[in-house]
């Protein structure tokens, strides 16, 4: 197979940032994706519908003329999100989900939730209005080993949450462990999972062996090879509730290549090529269209994009960096050649 046509994909987990960086990266995402679930972890975070509306306008203003890219907004859940804000979000038409960052789990998560019991009423409102909860699934705390945070979250936080809120719809985002993969490919219709290209392609050796590679550093951190294999199997399984979420998370070059480097891989412009590489390695290119273009809209109750794109087997040179506004942004696989690229219209 040398070409593959699929519905123009959507990204169900994308960081677009703000200001000059937003202006630089929004057109790059919009060149690939039709819609994207936009992460609310700005500083300060997007916690109200009013802030989401203003951020949405800034995103639209950053798009090239004629772009039809649609930002699907989210609210950042805090210990004190009022249930009335959830009702307003559900009525807004442009807020499609609420994001849970456990406090301290990742980049810009200081305002995150310290105890989900404090969010009981907000979560009950989400059940009532059918607004999904998008979860950064890591338990935090100094005693918890960084490689065990996702499994600890699933056992200690996620299962009790699903028991307390039986109608809550949940996306376990950027699944990184075999346990997470097994959970989201089970038969619980409330649960879906997104998979990043880096977690399908790499394990923690790629990050740590032969030198520390900051551009492979993201949260949740890359896991063991057995986890990667389980993730690839889940993502390519044809299960209807697994879909594409790049977690493309641009940081200025100096913030990544640093004595205390930020977590986040920048992949949006090359993500489809990376997913094609992973799916081809699994012998499952034929399943990429559902993963990238159909399963996500089905979960969110949105139409599948009518427009199509074509991937072709042709070399794609990944640049050393992209302009990022104030400083360059180095993508994953900078300077390398990828085997698949999007055919330009």
Task: Give the closest residue to 134 by CA, choosing from 195, 193, 50.
Answer: 193
Q: Which stretch binds ligand NCD (CB under 6 A): 30-38, 104-112, 117-125, 296-304?
A: 104-112
Per rule CB under 6 A, is residue 199 in the interface with ligand NCD? Answer: no
Give, as ranges, the residues between 10 and 39 that touch ligand NCD (CB under 6 A): 15
Q: Is the Cβ–Cβ distance between 223 and 147 less than 8 Å?
A: yes
Per rule CB under 6 A, is residue 41 in the interface with ligand NCD? Answer: yes
Task: Give the closest residue to 307 by CA, choosing from 27, 8, 34.
Answer: 8
Per rule CB under 6 A, is residue 223 in the interface with ligand NCD? Answer: no
Sheet holding 170-172, edge to edge: 11-14, 35-38, 70-76, 95-100, 133-135, 170-172, 191-195, 242-244
Q: Is the Cβ–Cβ distance between 207 and 217 less than 8 Å?
A: yes
Per rule CB under 6 A, is residue 200 in the interface with ligand NCD? Answer: no
329 pairs with which residues across the strands?
322
Which ranges of 63-191 would DSSP assign to H, the alpha helix?
Answer: 83-92, 120-129, 149-153, 159-164, 178-184
User: Shortest Cβ distance from residue 37 to ligand NCD (Å)?
Assistant: 11
**Residue 51 vs residues 42, 55, 89, 185, 229: alpha-carbon distances, Å:** 11, 6, 11, 34, 40
264 — alpha (psi -120 to 50), left (phi > 0) or beta? left
User: Shortest Cβ distance from residue 38 to ligand NCD (Å)?
Assistant: 11
Tokens 């492979």: give the residue: 216
Closer to Zn ion at the Cβ: 37 or 311?
A: 37
Task: Out of 219, 270, 271, 332, point to the residue binding ligand NCD (CB under 6 A).
Answer: 219
Give, as ranges, the residues between 106 and 135 that touch ligand NCD (CB under 6 A): 106-108
79 is an active site residue: no
Compute the distance between CA of residue 186 and CA of residue 188 in angstroms, rounded to an integer.
6
**Interface residue list for Zn ion (CB under 5 A):** 247
Task: Out of 35, 56, 96, 136, point to the residue binding ligand NCD (CB under 6 A).
Answer: 136
Please, what's the b/e burial string for 48-58 (b: 16 or more CB within 10 A of its CB; e: otherwise)? Answer: bbebbeebbeb
Task: Out of 85, 247, 277, 280, point to the residue binding ligand NCD (CB under 6 A).
Answer: 247
User: Shortest Cβ distance from residue 223 to ligand NCD (Å)?
Assistant: 14
Catalytic site residue from 10, 227, 247, 290: 247
Per rule CB under 6 A, is residue 333 in the interface with ligand NCD? Answer: no
Per rule CB under 6 A, is residue 140 in the interface with ligand NCD? Answer: no
User: Shortest Cβ distance from residue 1 to ligand NCD (Å)?
Assistant: 31
Per rule CB under 6 A, is residue 218 in the interface with ligand NCD? Answer: yes
Tokens 């999904």: give the residue: 132
Residues 48-77, mask of contacts with ligand NCD (x by CB under 6 A):
------------------------------
The residues carrying an active-site annotation are 247
Interacting residue ranges for ligand NCD, rule: CB under 6 A: 15, 41, 106-108, 136, 218-219, 247, 249, 263-264
């Amino acid at each position: 197979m040398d070409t593959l046509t699929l519905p123009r994909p959507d990204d169900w987990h994308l960081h677009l940032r703000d200001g000059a960086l937003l202006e630089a990266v929004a057109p790059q995402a919009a060149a690939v994706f039709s819609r994207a679930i936009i992460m609310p972890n700005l500083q300060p975070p997007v916690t109200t519908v009013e802030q989401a509306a203003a951020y949405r306008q800034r995103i639209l203003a950053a798009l090239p003329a004629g772009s039809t890219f649609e930002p699907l907004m989210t609210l950042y859940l805090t210990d004190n999100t009022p249930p009335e804000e959830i009702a307003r979000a559900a009525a807004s038409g442009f807020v499609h989900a609420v994001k849970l960052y456990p406090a301290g789990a990742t980049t810009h998560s200081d305002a995150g939730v310290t105890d989900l019991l404090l969010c009981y009423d907000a979560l009950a409102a989400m059940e009532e209005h059918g607004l999904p909860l998008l979860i950064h699934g890591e338990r935090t705390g100094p005693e918890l080993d960084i490689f065990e945070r996702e499994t600890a979250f699933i056992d200690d936080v996620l299962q009790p949450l699903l028991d307390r809120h039986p109608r809550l719809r949940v996306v376990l985002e950027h699944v990184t462990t075999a346990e997470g993969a097994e959970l989201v490919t089970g038969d619980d219709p409330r649960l879906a999972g997104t998979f990043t290209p880096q977690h399908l392609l790499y394990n923690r050796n790629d990050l740590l062996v032969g030198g520390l590679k900051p551009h492979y550093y993201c949260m949740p951190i890359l896991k063991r090879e057995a986890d990667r294999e389980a993730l690839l199997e889940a993502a390519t399984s044809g299960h209807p509730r697994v879909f594409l979420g790049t977690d493309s998370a641009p940081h200025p070059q100096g913030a990544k290549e640093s004595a205390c480097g930020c977590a986040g891989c920048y992949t949006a412009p090359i993500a489809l090529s990376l997913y094609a590489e992973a799916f081809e390695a699994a012998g499952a290119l034929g399943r990429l269209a559902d993963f990238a273009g159909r399963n996500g809209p089905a979960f969110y109750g949105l139409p599948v994009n009518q427009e199509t794109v074509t991937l072709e087997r042709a070399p794609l040179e990944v640049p050393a960096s992209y302009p990022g506004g104030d400083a360059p942004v180095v993508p994953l696989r900078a300077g390398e050649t990828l085997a698949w690229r999007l055919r330009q219209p």
